[in-house]
Structure 1
Amino acid sequence: MLNHLVGRSSLLNDTIGRHNNRIVILLNNTGGLSLFELNIIVKETVNQLQTRKLCVERIYLGCFMTSFSMSGVSLSAMAVDDRILQLLDSPSASSAWTQLLNTPKVLNRSVILQNPIPSPKDETPDYETIDGLKFGRELFVRAIELSCKALISSEKHLNELDTELGDGDCGSTLSGASKLLLKLITEKQLKPSFFQLSHFCEANMGGTSGAIYSLMFTAASQAIRANVKRIDRSYDYIDLWRDVIKYSLQTITQYSFAKPGDRSMLESTASMSANVGRASYVNKASIARPDPGAIAVSIWIDSIAQAFNEFANRK
């Protein structure tokens, strides 16, 4: 998110440079997060901005634009100078911008905000682990290739399913990311790494799907590194991949509060009652189709099964 907002290719980059890297940030609660959760996000945001050598002059936190009781945030940034800060600090009685006192919302620069942020390079990659498995690299890349091609061919169908309750772009989101992954495969830049996939989804997939897939692949990376040492006569490769999938789903359930039967990406049929996500906000009688995210999951699971079958008879 911050790469899009203040990265080198962002529209704001030149403006920030002209203002000596001074910015203010506005963190908007879309309705369902607690103050505790918001403060965690604020701290992480400030830490990452500071590692980019940006000076955060003010932080504005609140429910400026909500969407029912959605659990999420939106983040805005603006380059500032002394004159703009003076205007921002001026008293205001607007219902959307309450600034009754002329008290600048200055960043607390105490040491608690200076925690070092681990770089992705500092984390142990999992590609060596997967590469050491039987058919590890070949199977991993083949499964990704088949999944991407299947998702691309299903783009129109997934978009149609998503028009019922969503923005009609589920298929486009997954297809766009799939095309980029196929390009990495063609250029031989894709490693057999769930960790790499996690960061890829975080950077190249928008909306809720990007966050959930990133979380899933992060969990898969942790699971395969933790369980690979168990392989012996009583614990084979099938057991390993089963536990990787199991831990990944448990992690999604833990952080998203979605569980099987809730009509989400984890499991969905047209007859299910939606208990999480946007579908849970609307009249249940208007829901006639299964969740497009769940259909997408079934598509790439079939592709993974196809890849396993291709390698099953090899010695």
Structure 2
Amino acid sequence: MNHYMQACYVGQGMLSAAVAGSIFTSPPPQSILTGIRTIAKGNQGGCLVAVANYTGDRLNFGLAMERAKQEGIHLDSVTVGEDCAMASQDKTAGRRGLAGAILLFKIAGALAEEGRSLEEITQCAKDVASSMGTIGLALGPCSVPGTGPLFHIQEDEIELGLGVHGEAGVKRMKILTAKETVKLMIDHMINPANSTHLKLKSGDKVACMINNLGGLSVLEMNIVANEAITYLEEKEVLVDRAYCGSYITSLEMPGVSITLLHLTDTIKRCLDAPTNAPAWLTPYLPAGQTDRKTSTPIDPLYQPKQEEIESSAAVSPDEASHIYSILQNVCEQLVASEGHLNGLDSESGDGDCGSTIARGAQNIKKELLQKDSKGWPFNHPQGLSLAIGRIAENCMGGCSGGLYSLFFTSAAQAFQEEVSSQTFAKAMYQGIKAIQRYGGAEPGDRTMLDALHAAYTTFSSHLAQLSPPKDAFAAAVQAAEKGAEATTWMKAKAGRASYVSADLLTKPDPGATAVAIWLRAVLEKL
């Protein structure tokens, strides 16, 4: 093979020798012949030569093999050309050999370790070569050292169907999402209208290799792997083997190829056979498991049953309707404040606090406020508080999502036995303590706690003095607004703002301001 990385596939259970030429160039026949002699001279088992389907490789390896035969060396060959990019029916040089060659090396090497005959190994290798397909895609070019990029592509473009040496692809288009890109690649690979397509149907068992062409991160590769497996399983194709990593690169090209290989029991056994070739990456699987399976998704959130919620304290239908209108006003005010909160967050964070909180409010409207205002969960504050906490965790993201989920989940327990002004104060206390326990912040640290804690202490103090609940809550809202405004002059000791120079913090904390906004929205409907 002509690629420099293939020397890394020499080892027990894989290639016995690799012959490398200059970068992206076939090696000369004399070098190839030396490799054949080293392996096969005096070896009665013979030698299988695997050749990538490029004109230079076929010519130079062919010449070396003819000379080896004249020396009495027993050998055979297989040409690897599994590229599925070409759609034309016209005569061409044939399908290029791509990352699928690595799977063929592995299978042929395992059969050799089993002591199979050259004839058996050759036939199996040819069957493998005809049972797989590969499609490549690049977001940018590669370059031979010292020569610059081999081709040019715009930053907002991708190229489908290019080869590992920078050869042109079959289509160039605007960049897509990972999901759309994977769908494009696989659909092209299995499209019957293309002359080089791979046949694939529901129920087929395949190995899927996600190959890094050199310039993608592990994160990007895993995203592509997930999308590929998901899309294949949507087509009811069984992905029994999955490989993800840098198997055959194109120097530093930012791109990826997807290889699919139809599986038989023999092929699976050979893929699983041990090898000490350094570049072969095995899949991560539980001990004793070889066939990979996509697990059934597990919801990590505790979802109390409706009958459990209905055993908690309830309110009247009129009160449930009132709670509905309060929550509706809270959501509307938070959505309307998105730009203001983002502006406050731009100097102390990444400018998305308002968007994060607005996203939570929009999902509360979508999941809760479209329901009967007199029905579940508005007639059971415990269930409503748990539902809001679940939505915050699932939909908001970031620190805000975690903090609000902690607050409402912990607050819910206060409503188990009764619903009163005192239990609302108790709920605030429990929510605040949960934030302090897990978030590590304290009042005075320039966070949402500065508004929440001020509201709680004022509310509970007024209730203890037998003030009317509405008056007590009005005083609590004023305290929250003053607490939020006071963060302007505080030194940040927690959260992202604590990493920012104090000289740059000239506005109130966005988290504390958001608390003041939704408390004011509650008061407006009391």
Deviation of residue 243 (structure 1)? 0.3
Deviation of residue 199 (structure 1)? 1.6
Answer whether contact 2:207 2:240 (CA < 8 A) is retained. no
**1:259 pairs with 2:445:** no
Matches within 5 A, 1:126-141: 126=309, 129=312, 131-132=314-315, 136-141=319-324
**1:282 pairs with 2:500:** yes
Specify which structure has the higher proportion of helix: 1
**1:106 pairs with 2:284:** yes
Q: SS of 1:167's equivalent?
A: coil
Q: Distance in 2 between matches of 1:102 and 1:283?
A: 48
| Distance change >3 Å, CA 18–CA 133, structure 1 → 2 | farther
Q: SS of 1:185's equivalent?
A: coil
Deviation of residue 127 (structure 1)? 5.9
Q: Which residue of 2 aligns with 1:161?
A: 344
Q: Distance in 2 between matches of 1:304 and 1:216?
A: 17
Match of 2:403 among 202, 212, 215: 212
Q: Distance in 2 between matches of 1:265 and 1:137?
A: 28
Q: Distance in 2 between matches of 1:156 and 1:117?
A: 32
**1:197 pairs with 2:388:** yes
Matched AA of 2:389: S
Deviation of residue 22 (structure 1)? 9.9
Ranges in structure 1 where 5+ consecutive residues have no aligned partner:
1-9, 24-63, 66-74, 91-99, 232-236, 311-315
Q: SS of 1:264's equivalent?
A: coil
Q: Distance in 2 between matches of 1:130 and 1:21?
A: 55
Q: SS of 2:447's equivalent?
A: coil
**1:188 pairs with 2:393:** no
Q: SS of 2:348's equivalent?
A: coil
| Distance change >3 Å, CA 22–CA 304, structure 1 → 2 | farther
| Distance change >3 Å, CA 159–CA 131, structure 1 → 2 | same
Q: Distance in 2 between matches of 1:306 and 1:212?
A: 24
Q: Distance in 2 between matches of 1:277 and 1:145?
A: 29
Q: Which residue of 2 aligns with 1:293?
A: 511
Q: SS of 2:369's equivalent?
A: helix
Larger relative contact order (Cα-Cα within 8 Å, sequence gap ≥ 6): 1
| Distance change >3 Å, CA 123–CA 263, structure 1 → 2 | farther
Structure whose CA Rg is larger: 2
Q: Distance in 2 between matches of 1:20 and 1:249?
A: 53
Matched AA of 1:304: V
Q: Distance in 1 between matches of 2:425 and 2:507?
A: 29
Q: Deviations over 1:235-273 (max 9, x none)?
A: xx1111110110011011111111211111211511111
Answer whether contact 2:415 2:423 (CA < 8 A) is retained. yes
Q: Distance in 2 between matches of 1:124 and 1:167?
A: 42
Q: Distance in 2 between matches of 1:21 and 1:135?
A: 60
Matched AA of 1:170: C
| Distance change >3 Å, CA 143–CA 253, structure 1 → 2 | same
Deviation of residue 20 (structure 1)? 7.6
Q: Distance in 2 between matches of 1:117 and 1:171?
A: 27
Q: SS of 1:198's equivalent?
A: helix
Q: Distance in 1 between matches of 2:407 and 2:204?
A: 39
Answer whether contact 2:448 2:512 (CA < 8 A) is retained. yes
Matches within 5 A, 1:7-18: 11=179
Q: Which residue of 2 aligns with 1:176?
A: 359
Q: CA RMSD in A?
A: 4.4
Q: Deviations over 1:150-195 (max 9, x none)?
A: 2122222112111112222222232233234334424437722111
Q: Distance in 2 between matches of 1:198 and 1:147?
A: 15
Q: Deviations over 1:68-107 (max 9, x none)?
A: xxxxxxx9673566775274699xxxxxxxxx89785735
Matched AA of 2:503: A
Q: SS of 2:400's equivalent?
A: helix
| Distance change >3 Å, CA 101–CA 212, structure 1 → 2 | farther
Q: Which residue of 2 aligns with 1:245?
A: 428
Q: Distance in 1 between matches of 2:343 and 2:509?
A: 11
Answer whether contact 1:89 1:104 (CA < 8 A) is retained. no
Matches within 5 A, 1:138-149: 138-149=321-332
Range that drifts further, 81-90 or 199-208 = 81-90
Matched AA of 1:148: C
Q: Distance in 2 between matches of 1:20 and 1:218?
A: 44
Matched AA of 1:294: A
| Distance change >3 Å, CA 187–CA 266, structure 1 → 2 | same
Answer whether contact 1:201 1:211 (CA < 8 A) is retained. yes
Q: Deviations over 1:217-239 (max 9, x none)?
A: 111222322x53xx7xxxxx111
Q: SS of 1:218's equivalent?
A: helix
Q: Which residue of 2 aligns with 1:152?
A: 335
| Distance change >3 Å, CA 241–CA 118, structure 1 → 2 | closer
Answer whether contact 1:201 1:214 (CA < 8 A) is retained. yes
Q: Deviations over 1:106-128 (max 9, x none)?
A: 35569xxxx99675155875466
